[in-house]
Every structure is written in structure tokens, then in C-alpha cells.
Amino acid sequence: MKAALKTAEGTFEINEVDIPKIPHPDWVLARVRVAGICGTDLRHWKKEEPELEHKIMGHELSGEVVEAGENVLNLKPGDRVVIETLLGDETCDWCNVQQYNLCPHLYPVRMETVYRAFATYVIAPAKKFYKLPDHVTHEEAALLDTFSVGLHAQNLSGLSINDKVAVIGAGCIGLGQLQLAKASGADVVVIDVVDSGLEAAKELGADLVINSDKEDIQQKIMEFTGYRGVDIAFECAGGSSMPQTLKQATTITRRGGKVVIVGGFDPGDTAIPLPWQQIQMSEIQLIPSASYSYRDIYPEMGICLELLSRGKLNAKRMVTHSFPIDRINEAFETAQDKENTHAIFVALTI
Ligand SMILES: [Zn+2]
């Protein structure tokens, strides 16, 4: 099968590799249709990482069932599906209570199995598959991973109706966070430095948008919140902007409010300065959020699929570009250069 493999320089080359085989009777082989490029993928773009060389990446995907193991009763060839790529070792204390996002072996396990969307076929346990209603497209479904990340963060935050919420970062994660908060009855301000992202935020229901390069963020937030600061700030920008955006999140949050860390850190980010005295004296809670798993008895991806199916989340507006897998390097360049390309969600068709 065709697969995009990581090169020594951190780009991709298309190569032929073996089709994965179903390892257990409760696993399923799927044909990938659409894979997304997410911020996590971009943080590895053009970085020399020997441990990733010749590896297949990609963890936001939709596709079709090709072959189901003999114990699988709920899936059959041809079923259109979204596949959750969070798979732990299934033996630890966290996996035992469906907190597999915290599994100590999450990355080694998923990288060898389901974290391989940039290829023609992928395998996963049947329980990681969710069937798509006919009206949900493969492109829209590929955004469910992103929405699930936001839902997990929102669930950790305790967000409630009428909360004043700031979302920092108007990329895929931030725009998902915005929509979830709006669907839950919050008033939401979205902050970014890229106008095209803020434009999308407005269309997706933001009550206020702020370009923090051009506008007085403190003044605008104070006016928005009755001079208290937001109840909850979601840091959704991540990566190299963390030293600015995480600090920004703490300075716009009200006393007794919460800062939820959704965006990803770069490896080795061990010394980001924050206004610790202010954080302590204001009892601002810092809440780190990692991927997603379950809320009570419900898988967070399943919840997001229902919300998307019923029109409570808009994925269409977030899909700005689509490339065939053969042009994956161009797709990554496009996703990286969002100030010029206005990219939000860049889809790869496979
Ligand atoms: Zn585990």
C-alpha cells in the first residue's frame, strides 16, 4: 500500500509498504479516506527526529471498513467510519477505568497501530470505530478528533451556561473549543493574531474577536466581562507561542477563574515564565488537558459525532484545503503558512 514515511529531515516521502494485518479477532482493517494535519503533526514538520524516520504519522482520520475480525459483530465491509486513534496498553490502572489518554504506554502503543493515518490502510480494535451517518462527510468526520480534544478540555473545566470564556488561538482546536462553549451557553471571545482565523471564529459564533497584535486585549476583555476577567481561558494555540499565550491566558482570567492548557508544548519546554505570584494570590487554577477519552459512560468522540450529526458543530467551515496524499509536503507547507494561505483544516485524501 501507499504510505507517507517520515524522512531524516522531517518531511515525507511516498513509498510502498505492507498492508497491516488484523492481529486479533476483535480488530478491524480500514481503508483511510481522509486524514487531517493537526498542530501536533506540524510541530514535527521539518524537524530532524531519528526516532520518527521511516515512520507513518497521522491521527485524524475517517474511512471505510475493509475487513472485520471474526469476533466483530457491529461492523462490516463498506461501513463508513471515523476511527479514534487513542489506544493504550489496555492493562494499566488508567486504561482499566477508560482514562486511556493518561496511559503510560499510550504513545508507543498507538504509534505502532492506529496512529498511521497517512497511509492507505490502518488497523484498530473494533471499539475505536464509530459509524458515520450518511450525511456526515469523510472530511467533516476527520475533524472529530479535534472536537474531542476540545470536549475533554471543556469537561475538565466545568464550563457552564453564561460563563465568560476566552479561547486563545483560532486554529482547528480553538474553533472547536469555541463551538463547544457556545453550544453549552457560554459567551465566548476568541483571540489570535491571524485575521482569517478570527473571521472564521466570527462566522462560527464568537461573541467578540480580538487581534492581540493590533488591539488592546486587556481593555477589550475587561469590557467584555464587566471588569472581572474571564471565568475560563482555554489556551489553544500551543507550540512556540506558548510563552506568550499561556501568560496571556493567566492575565485575562478573573480571580478564582481557570486556565485550561489545551495547546501542546514543544518538547523541552521546561522554563516558561508565568506571573506566579498573581496566579497564586488570585487562586487561578491551571488545568492541563491531554487528548480525550470518556466522560462518565460516554466516549468523548461519540459525543462529538452526535453533536456534529445534529448540526451543533460546524466542521465544514473549518475545512479550507484538500490535497491528495502524493502532495503531502505541499499540504504541510500550506498548513504551516496559515497567515498567507488562510489554512484552518488541511485535509489529505487517500
Ligand atoms: Zn494503559
- Predicted structure pTM score: 0.96
- pLDDT-derived band at 97 (thresholds 50, 70, 90) equals very high
Q: pLDDT averaged over the chain? A: 96
Residue pLDDT, tens place only, 270-317: 889 999 999 999 999 999 999 999 999 999 999 999 999 999 999 999
- Cα(98) to ligand 1 centroid in Å equals 9
Answer positive or negative: Cα dihedral of 159, 107, 303, 242.
positive
Q: d(Cα 291, Cα 216) in Å, to the nearest integer?
A: 32
Q: d(Cα 298, Cα 98) in Å, to the nearest integer?
A: 10
- Cα(264) to ligand 1 centroid in Å equals 21
Give the pLDDT score at 275: 96
- Cα(236) to ligand 1 centroid in Å equals 26
- Cα(88) to ligand 1 centroid in Å equals 5
Burial class (CB within 10 angstroms; exposed 0-12, middle 13-18, buried 19+) of 70: exposed
Give the pLDDT score at 111: 87
For the record, the C-alpha cell of 81 comes out as 467510519
- Cα(291) to ligand 1 centroid in Å equals 14
- pLDDT-derived band at 268 (thresholds 50, 70, 90) equals confident
Which residue is listed with cell 486513534? 85
Q: d(Cα 95, Cα 105) in Å, to the nearest integer?
A: 10
Q: What angle do CA 182, 185, 189 make, to 5 degrees?
A: 50
- Cα(89) to ligand 1 centroid in Å equals 4
Q: d(Cα 148, Cα 307) in Å, to the nearest integer?
A: 11
Residue pLDDT, tens place only, 195-236: 999 999 999 999 999 999 999 999 999 999 999 999 999 999
**Which contacts qualify for 332-335: CB closer than 8 Å, 24 or more apart?**
332/11, 332/12, 332/37, 332/41, 332/42, 332/45, 335/37, 335/42
